[in-house]
Amino acid sequence: MSWFKKARRPIATPVEPSRVPEGLWVKCPSCSQVLYEKDLVKNQRVCGSCSHHFRMSASQRLAALLDDGAWAEFDRNLESTDPLRFQDKKQYRDRLAAGATATGLRDAAISAVGRIEGIEVAVVSMEYGFIGGSMGVVVGEIITRAAERALQRRIPLVVVCCSGGARMMEGVLSLMQMAKISAALARLDRAKLPYIAVLTDPTTGGVTASFAMLGDLHIAEPGALIGFAGPRVIEQTIRQRLPAGFQRSEFLLQHGMLDMVVDRRQLRPTLARSIRFMAAEPAAAAAEGAPLEVESAR
């Protein structure tokens, strides 16, 4: 009878907790190579096997570009007032709070003044982790002030673009920033001060339709998605398949939309060489080693 029979059960092997700390290894999405996080950081978050460029935060980009990873930060306390009291699935103010918690910033850009190989420059670095790096009133004001600061100091301006486009939660107020920034860049152009746009993955929407494509020099990282509408939207509109690599930086370089595609590890010397070529006077002034006037320093 069944109660005289012993049920056979497999021997359970105790499961030990993993001894490998989380975040220690990263798998490359391009070549599937498993990378040691510390080695990836040393290599400026570029895969040593296939040169895939991982995304970087705004502060990581500044640290990689500027001498000694040091800069003076401006306009840090600017934040949106939620002018439209916008709400979709979430309230806009809650999205702002979530972005601030995730990034430690009050909006999607950092404005700084630092040096690239001894040359004083104004730099804006956009933060994709804050609501997709979208451009609202605050981002527009930060970039406009950076252009005005560059004009006042007679130094070049570099903007590292990384954005999903204009921020719909601020409606037409967001779209107005396209014209405002463009006007500030026009004043910089009349003063014969160089403006360099660095386009990273992704650079799309209203950012591409304005300041990202108004540079004296356009430099993109390898494999970056750059365009106005996304590939799926375009395919659904024209009902055709797009060419291979469409809207990637190499495709745009081939079709005359960019000046160069530069590996991130070579970006700093490329910027310095370009600025020296375009702006001999600012470079010479910075070479004298005049101290930076800072609002707040990192």
The DSSP secondary-structure symbol of 236 reads H
pTM: 0.86
Identify the pLDDT of residue 298. 46
Helices 267-278 and 58-65, axial angle in degrees (round to 10):
70
Is residue 151 within 8 A of residue 188, CB to CB? The reply is yes
Identify the pLDDT of residue 21. 63
Identify the pLDDT of residue 279. 72
Identify the pLDDT of residue 230. 85
Helices 171-190 and 137-153, axial angle in degrees (round to 10):
10
Q: Which domains does the chain have, with CATH numbers?
A: 21-54 (no CATH), 56-297 (3.90.226.10)
- Report the C-alpha gap between 248 and 224 in whole angstroms: 5
The three-point CA angle 66-68-73 to 5° equals 55
Query: What are the tokens at 122?
Result: 């104004």
Residue type, 133: G
Identify the pLDDT of residue 280. 62
**pLDDT of the chain, 298 residues: tens digit per residue:** 555 566 666 666 555 554 546 679 999 999 999 999 999 999 999 999 999 999 999 999 999 999 999 999 999 999 999 999 999 999 999 999 999 999 999 999 999 999 999 999 999 999 999 999 999 999 999 999 999 999 999 999 999 999 999 999 999 999 999 999 999 999 999 999 999 999 999 999 999 999 999 999 999 999 999 999 988 899 999 999 999 999 999 999 999 999 999 999 999 999 999 999 997 654 444 444 455 554 444 4
CB atoms within 10 A of CB 113: 23
Identify the pLDDT of residue 284. 46
Non-local CB neighbours of 217 within 8 Å, separated by 6+ positions:
194, 196, 197, 259, 260, 274, 278
